[in-house]
Amino acid sequence: MSSREDDEVVVLVVDDSADDRRVVIRYLRRGEDHRYRVFEASSGKEALALAEEHTPDVFILDNHMGAMSGVELLEALREHGHGEAAFVILTGSTRDPEVFLELGTDDYVNKDELSERYFQRVVSNALIKARLRVQLAQRAAFEERLISIVAHDLRSPLQALIVGSELLQQEVGSPQLDRYLTTLKRSTKRMHRIVEQLLDLARVRQAGGFPLVLETLDLCELVQENVDELVEANPDRKIEVVCEGDGTGSFDSGAVAQIVTNLVSNALRHGDPECPVSVWGKADEGKVVLEIVNYGEPIPPAQREQLFRPFVRVGSKEREGLGLGLYIVGAIVKAHHGTVEVESSDNRTTFTVVLPKCRRES
């Protein structure tokens, strides 16, 4: 690999026309935005060799070459580890320029419209876009790694606190100490939920979607079991559940439990405490429909549009948590190839989840 100075931009111009290469290189060297160091190649094979030697920041590729087109060369360069560079396609065609952008090039230039200032601006903008793309990718990778590390490091000590407080509560007899331990257990469980949500967020980001472990089960029975647990955990609230039909299909039991827990908990948190939360499930041919209904203050329309984005909190009452619950619900539903929608007006809010019994592979 050749050495370069900090402010130097390495460019590789690939064109089977020597005259076109000379024009492009002349335009680049007259530019004032960057200090370019330019290499040239007349074929895809030669370009791949020069790319390995010099690691260009910018590739300017003629699309119509003999053995390898510019688009084919672009794909080969990415396979060889040059995906972070900027790519500009030169074309003589007026039929398919937008195709180049769809294939991931930063820009394209029609040779019939080539002018010095225009070309310099295109290359400079492509370089800026590529550098921003790299910075965003690095930042996202750092954030995901940080979330994963923090969540994993907190998980074990929090679990120990939960178990320890439960054991202590079984041993002590003082009502005051019992209240302290109850508060401790509630707080550590809340922190544990936050950690689990951070881990889910990291999994979704790193895998490009929520990873599922599918098994054959009756979704209606699973919903009933999870609601029963929520009823036991919230003895002061009324939760009604009705499930109808055969919900047997291919689902991730743990992930579906998260859907139910997150949506019902959300309904309990934001609904009128004097009114029940209703869970209705119905299995039709090919799908299962779940509805979670609560009564009380509606969700404002502006907030509804943001609900399934990460770190968005619902309503004015929300002070706890990270705002990840509905984002995780959306990710799980999407992984099952289902849909989730919300309707909120007057004093009623309904979340509707539709999950196919058999996930169609795309």
CATH of the domain at 293: 3.30.565.10
Q: Is residue 124 part of a domain?
A: no
Number of domains in the chain: 3
Per the domain annotation, does 121 fall within a domain? no
For residue 347, give Cα distances in angstroms to 259, 261, 266, 270, 351: 23, 22, 15, 11, 14
In angstroms, the CA 310 to CA 324 distance is 5
Whether residue 268 is found in the same domain as residue 297: yes
**Do 58 and 156 fall into the same domain?**
no
Last residue of a domain, one of 114, 139, 165: 114
CATH number of the domain within which 89 lies: 3.40.50.2300
Report the alpha-carbon distance of residue 40 to residue 43 in Å, rounded.
Answer: 9
Q: Is 136 within a domain? A: no
Q: Which DSSP letter does residue 299 get?
A: P
Q: Are 324 and 199 in contact (CB under 8 A)?
A: no
Domain housing 163:
147-207
For 71-99, b where at least 16 C-beta lie within 10 A, e where not — what string? bebbebbeeeebeebbbbbbbeeeeebee
Do 196 and 235 fall into the same domain? no
Q: 53 and 173, same structural domain?
A: no
| In-domain check, residue 127 | no
> Amino acid letter at 309?
R
CB 271 within 8 A of CB 294: yes
Segment (H or E) for 283: strand 277-284
What is residue 217's predicted lDDT score, i.e. its pLDDT? 94
Residues 108, 196 within the same domain: no
User: 151 and 244: one domain?
Assistant: no
Report the percentage of the chain scoring pLDDT > 90.
Answer: 45
Domain end call among 93, 114, 135: 114
One digit per residue, the tens of pLDDT, for the chain of length 362 reads: 455 555 789 999 999 999 999 999 999 988 887 889 999 999 999 999 999 999 999 999 998 887 888 889 999 999 999 988 999 998 876 556 677 777 778 888 888 888 899 999 999 999 999 999 888 887 777 677 667 666 666 766 677 777 777 777 776 667 777 777 777 776 676 677 777 777 777 778 767 788 889 999 999 999 999 999 889 888 899 999 999 999 999 999 999 999 999 999 999 999 999 999 999 999 988 999 999 999 998 988 878 888 898 877 766 554 455 678 899 999 999 999 999 999 998 899 999 999 999 876 54
**Residue 176 sits in the same domain as residue 232:** no
Please tell me whether residues 157 and 219 are part of one structural domain: no
Confidence (pLDDT) at 152: 66
Going by the DSSP 8-state scheme, the letter that residue 352 receives in this structure is E
Out of 187, 207, 227, a domain closes at 207
120 part of a folded domain: no
Same domain, yes or no: 92 and 162: no
The whole-number pLDDT of residue 93 equals 67
> Any idea what DSSP says for residue 298?
P
> Is position 361 within any domain?
no
pLDDT value at residue 172: 65
CA distances to 100, 242, 243, 333, 356 from 285, rounded to whole Å, are 43, 18, 15, 18, 9
C-alpha span between 118 and 83 (Å, rounded): 25
Residues near 184 by Cβ (< 8 Å), separated by ≥ 6? 161, 165
Residue 135 placed within a domain: no
Cβ atoms of 151 and 202 closer than 8 Å: yes
Pair 237, 193 in one domain: no
**Beta carbons within 10 angstroms of residue 207's beta carbon:** 12
Please report the pLDDT score of residue 5 as a whole number: 58
Q: Which runs of consecutive H residues, i.e. helices, occur in the chain?
A: 18-30, 44-54, 70-79, 97-102, 116-171, 175-207, 219-233, 253-270, 301-304, 325-335
Which of 122-160 are b and which e, b meaning 16 or more Cβ less than 10 Å from the residue's Cβ? bbbebbeebeeeeeeeeeeeeebeebbeebeebbeebee
Q: Same domain, yes or no, for 247 and 344?
A: yes
Q: Give pLDDT, residue 362.
A: 47
Question: Are 338 and 254 members of one domain?
Answer: yes
Residue 76 lies in a domain: yes
pLDDT digits (tens, 9 = 90+) for 30-41: 888 788 999 999
CA distance linking residue 29 with residue 36, whole number of Å: 7
Q: What is the pLDDT of residue 232?
A: 87
**pLDDT for 3:** 54
